[in-house]
Amino acid sequence: MSEIQSLTLRRPDDWHLHLRDGEALAAVLPFTARQFARAVVMPNLKPPVTTVEQAGAYRQRILKAVPHGLQFTPLMTLYLTNVTAPAEILKAKASGFIVGCKLYPAGATTHSDAGVTAIEHIYPALEVMQECGLVLQVHGEVTQPEVDIFDRESLFIEKTLAPLTERFPYLKVVFEHVTTHKAVEFVQQARQGVAATITPQHLLHNRNAIFQNGIRPHYYCLPVLKRETDRQALINAATSNNPRFFLGTDSAPHAQHTKENACGCAGMFSAHAALELYAEAFEQAGKLDRLDAFASEHGADFYGLPQNSGEVVLERTEWTAPEHYPFGQDRLIPMRAGEKIHWRVRTEHSA
């Protein structure tokens, strides 16, 4: 049998992650800390993390929740608003623990109502970010109700992102969780300093998954899953060894009852099997050998951080993802709940 049975990777990082807070944080952080050395932590708490002081306090709560024996470094972000002061950006840079600022167009996704209503409002902040080298992380979707949900990312590129990357020619920009072939093409052709993260769900599924034999709220995330042709473009980008594309799970836990609801929340939880799900996607493309660079090198290089020194081993082992995990007083339904996963991460810390 010539199938690869195990794969050793440099310890990876997750460049886009939702950890929430309180009991939810305690419930989900161990999954990420087990696999990843670092993660870029999204600031869309309620209320959002808009100041360095809040980010510092949140960082301390995260560090406290790291299980004993695991090494994990949270890389913090600030949530940009219409009134983010340039002075706060300078303070963020000086903190040493903040790597970037997140642009949520107001109303685009979960907890984005405090986001930016017109891009001009953040020009002063972007000016300073460009000067001091903080990364702009972008949720790239327009929000006008008349624009079809499947076209929101493409239109955002045209209306906002392309002009922005020209207006601020040295600003480092990560186009988060890209979902369309248009986004892939944009990133491939953009100026230097523009990159993108790709989630496991957008590599493994197209939008049919949301409607298979009924409506499936656990396949609902934002940006929403797209067409098969888009998925193929994402697979090609992720497995191309192009340093502009790297791992960002967008693992976004929500309590079961808030997803299985007449108005269900957007977000899929993948941290319990993040690297394993990426491995499946890369293997399907016949490109398992490219996973290391995507998961463990490109992101660190883009952010100007050292690559990690430890290793993780992925083994070909079939296991069944639990139907649910505890989530404070609630339950969390993970990606692939009750279904088989074909790889398993073994770390120095796990049996």
* Sites of contact with ligand NCD (CB under 6 A): 18, 44, 109-110, 139, 221-222, 250, 252, 266-267
Counting residues that bind Zn ion (by CB under 5 A) gives 1
Other C-beta atoms closer than 10 Å to the C-beta of 321 total 19
Quote the tokens at residue 66: 């790291």
Handedness of CA 117, 77, 14, 21 (dihedral sign): negative
Q: By three-state DSSP, how is residue 74 classified?
A: strand
- Nearest distance in Å: CB 256, Zn ion: 19
Q: Which of 184, 168, 180 is nearest to 134 (CA)?
A: 168
Alpha-carbon distance of 14 to 247, in angstroms, equals: 6
Written as six digits, the tokens of 12 are 């990876």
Residue 180 CB coordination number (10 Å): 24
Nearest to 140 by CA among 166, 102, 169, 172: 102
The two three-digit tokens of residue 32, written as one number = 């990420």
Q: Which is nearer to ligand NCD, 255 or 285 (CB)?
A: 255
Concerning whether 151 is annotated as a catalytic residue, the answer is no
Q: How far is the CB of 186 from ligand NCD (least distance, A)?
A: 19
266's contact among Zn ion, ligand NCD, none, with CB below 5 to 8 A by partner kind, is: ligand NCD
Q: Which two tokens stand for residue 50?
A: 């808009």
Out of ligand NCD, Zn ion, none, which partner does residue 77 contact, by CB within 5 to 8 A per kind? none
Q: Which residues pair with 315 in a beta bridge?
A: 6, 344
Contact letters (x/-) for Zn ion, 237-266, by CB under 5 A? -------------x----------------
Contact of residue 179 among Zn ion, ligand NCD, none (CB under 5-8 Å per partner type): none
Residue among 47, 54, 66, 77 nearest 138 (CA): 77
Choice between 222 and 341, CB closer to ligand NCD: 222
Looking at the Cβ atoms of 84 and 109, the one nearer to ligand NCD is: 109
Of 126, 76, 72, residue with least CA distance to 96: 76
Q: Which residues of 271-307 are buried (b: 16+ CB within 10 A; e: fewer)?
A: bbbbbbbbbbbbbeeebbebbbbbbbbbbbebbeeee
221 makes contact, choosing from Zn ion, ligand NCD, none, with CB < 5 to 8 Å by partner type, with ligand NCD
Q: Distance (Å, rounded) from C-alpha 116 to C-alpha 287?
A: 39
Minimum distance of ligand NCD from residue 269's CB (angstroms): 9
CB of 44 to Zn ion, least distance (A): 7
| 3-class DSSP state of 144 | coil
Q: Which is nearer to Zn ion, 141 or 250 (CB)?
A: 250
Binding partner of residue 267 among Zn ion, ligand NCD, none, CB under 5 to 8 Å per kind? Answer: ligand NCD
Q: Among 148, 230, 250, 292, which one carries the catalytic annotation?
A: 250
Q: Does 14 bind Zn ion (CB under 5 A)?
A: no
Which CB atom, from 14 or from 250, has the smaller least distance to ligand NCD?
Answer: 250
305 binds, among ligand NCD, Zn ion, none (CB under 5 to 8 A by kind): none
Tokens (6 digits) for 38? 């670092």
Q: How far is the CB of 121 from ligand NCD (least distance, A)?
A: 20
- State which residue has the least CB distance to Zn ion: 250
The 10 Å Cβ neighbour count of residue 201 is 24
Of residues 128 and 135, the one with the C-beta less far from ligand NCD: 135
CB of 267 to Zn ion, least distance (A): 7
| Positions marked active-site | 250
Q: Which residues bind to Zn ion, rule: CB under 5 A?
A: 250
